């Protein structure tokens, strides 16, 4: 029997990596995938080029807040894996409205449809940013949510809504919270691709404040494997942190990117810090490791080198986006 999976935001950076993995040679047998994506500035169908001819893939251009469309789709699907979001913290600082709409109302719209149409599993793809700043230690799934940016607050609200639908209605909801991702096809507004694109174009990279903010970096394909483990083997109503990448200050990361692009430190420009900038994120991913046997498989240095090579070889994809993002 075919399992019909609705992937929202499947033309985005991580959603598309998930779709490519599902339909790739090591993907599960017996799946059919529908991508629902509004193709905002962040969406790109080119990310799905390698699977576009696959008869198991259907693309629907639409909005997760469109209740009629979402209802119609939910009626024909078993699972929903929900990636669609406004995802860039800096944009949420300029205005949180689109974040509240897509990330909160969009999630609620999907949950309503999931309930009405008996969706079997709903995976809410979330972020470690909901835990907020952690001076020491690492957030477990039981840690309090303390989101500090409008982006993180909208994701935390969506997580609460999703989990409330498990508690109140018994909907099989599973939430993943992952650390920072990197890899091919990431929009050049995000730190690693932005810096690679800027350095490869001969420019200077803007480092926020002292650059000592600490983040955990995970290759997107490791994130995607974690999500698929949660969809197929996770427990209803449970949250799973996904991490285990490499923890670095933004400045250390910048130095590595400079080296990969053959640039020296004069190409760093320290700029005013981001408002409300969290100093440190860290997630404890013991649960997904113990329960589901998850382990990241990428070596960070190799993966960063591979990502730099990918950006070097795909200028035609990122150049138009980079010009707009600057
Ligand atoms: P992205 O911005 O690259 O992609 C988002 C996708 O959603 C785009 O294709 C966009 O067109 C689509 N979209 C936006 N609004 C929509 C709407 N109203 N209806 C339908 N589609 C819409 O984001 P990403 O980096 O791939 O992140 C995907 C998910 O993973 C997000 O929920 C994000 O919060 C989460 N996440 C991201 C990271 C990271 O490091 N990027 C880490 C952890 C979790």
Is the pLDDT reported for residue 224 higher than 70?
Answer: yes
Identify the residues whose C-beta falls under 6 Å from ligand 1. Answer: 8-9, 11-15, 36-40, 42-43, 63-65, 83-87, 102, 106, 125, 127, 155, 178, 180-181, 187
Instruction: Please give the Cα distance from 28 to 81 (Å, whole number).
Output: 15
* Residue 289 in domain: no
Tell me which residue range forms the domain holding 309. Answer: 183-215+246-281+298-325
Give the confidence band of 324 by pLDDT, cuts at 50, 70, 90.
Answer: low
| 256 and 165 share one domain | no
Ligand 1 centroid vs 177 CA: distance in angstroms?
A: 13
pLDDT, one tens digit per residue, over 256-297 is 999 999 999 999 999 998 888 889 999 999 999 999 999 999
pLDDT, one tens digit per residue, over 15-36 is 999 999 999 999 999 999 999 9
63 has catalytic annotation = no
247 φ/ψ angles, rounded to the nearest 5 degrees = -90, 125
Which residue in 35, 37, 154, 168 sits closest to 87, CA to CA?
154
CB atoms within 10 A of CB 12: 27
**What does the CA dihedral 128, 134, 140, 141 come to, rounded to 10 degrees?**
-50
| 225 and 262 share one domain | no
| 172 and 208 share one domain | no
Is the pLDDT reported for residue 325 higher than 60?
Answer: no
User: What are the angstrom distances between the C-alpha of 247 and each of 6, 181, 200, 300?
Assistant: 33, 12, 24, 10
Give the confidence band of 326 by pLDDT, cuts at 50, 70, 90.
Answer: low
> The CATH number of the domain where 20 resides is what?
3.40.50.720
How many structural domains are present in the chain?
2
| 19 and 152 share one domain | yes
Residues 9, 15 contacting (CB under 8 angstroms)? yes
Is the pLDDT reported for residue 9 higher than 80?
Answer: yes
Q: Which atom of ligand 1 is nearest to the CA of 82?
A: 32
Length of the chain: 326
Catalytic residue from among 63, 86, 128, 159: 128
* Residue 306 in domain: yes
* Residue 92 in domain: yes
* Residue 290 in domain: no
| 233 and 196 share one domain | no
Global pTM?
0.97
75 φ/ψ angles, rounded to the nearest 5 degrees = -60, -20
Please count the helices (runs of H) and the strands (runs of E) in the chain: 12, 12
| 37 and 167 share one domain | yes
* Residue 314 in domain: yes
Instruction: Please give the Cα distance from 321 to 263 (Å, whole number).
Output: 22
| 238 and 305 share one domain | no
């Amino acid at each position: 029997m075919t399992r019909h999976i609705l992937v929202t935001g499947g033309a985005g950076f991580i959603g598309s990596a998930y779709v490519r993995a599902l339909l790739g040679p090591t993907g599960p047998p017996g799946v059919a995938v529908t991508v629902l994506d509004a193709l905002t500035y962040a969406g790109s169908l080119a990310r799905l080029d390698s699977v576009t001819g696959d008869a198991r893939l259907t693309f629907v251009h639409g909005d997760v807040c469109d209740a009629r469309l979402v209802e119609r789709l939910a009626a024909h699907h078993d699972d929903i894996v929900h990636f669609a979001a406004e995802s860039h913290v800096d944009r949420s600082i300029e205005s949180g409205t689109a974040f509240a709409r897509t990330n909160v109302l969009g999630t609620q719209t999907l949950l309503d449809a999931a309930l009405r149409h008996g969706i079997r599993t709903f995976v809410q793809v979330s972020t470690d940013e909901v835990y907020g700043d952690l001076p020491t230690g690492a957030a477990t799934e039981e840690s309090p949510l303390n989101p500090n940016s409008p982006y993180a607050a909208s994701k935390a609200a969506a997580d609460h809504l999703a989990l409330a639908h498990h508690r109140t209605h018994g909907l099989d909801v599973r939430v993943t919270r992952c650390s920072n991702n990197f890899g091919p096809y990431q929009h050049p507004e995000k730190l690693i691709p932005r810096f690679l694109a800027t350095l490869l174009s001969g420019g200077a990279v803007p480092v926020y404040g002292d650059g000592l903010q600490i983040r955990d970096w995970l290759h997107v394909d490791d994130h995607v494997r974690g999500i698929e483990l949660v969809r197929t083997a996770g427990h209803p109503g449970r949250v799973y942190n996904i991490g285990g990448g490499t923890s670095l200050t933004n400045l250390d990361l910048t130095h590595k990117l400079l080296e990969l692009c053959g640039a020296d430190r004069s190409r760093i420009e320290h700029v005013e810090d981001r408002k409300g900038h969290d100093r440190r994120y860290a997630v404890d991913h013991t649960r997904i490791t113990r329960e589901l046997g998850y382990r990241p498989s990428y070596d960070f240095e190799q993966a960063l080198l591979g990502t730099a090579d990918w950006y070097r070889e795909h200028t035609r994809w990122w150049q138009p986006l980079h010009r707009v993002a600057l």
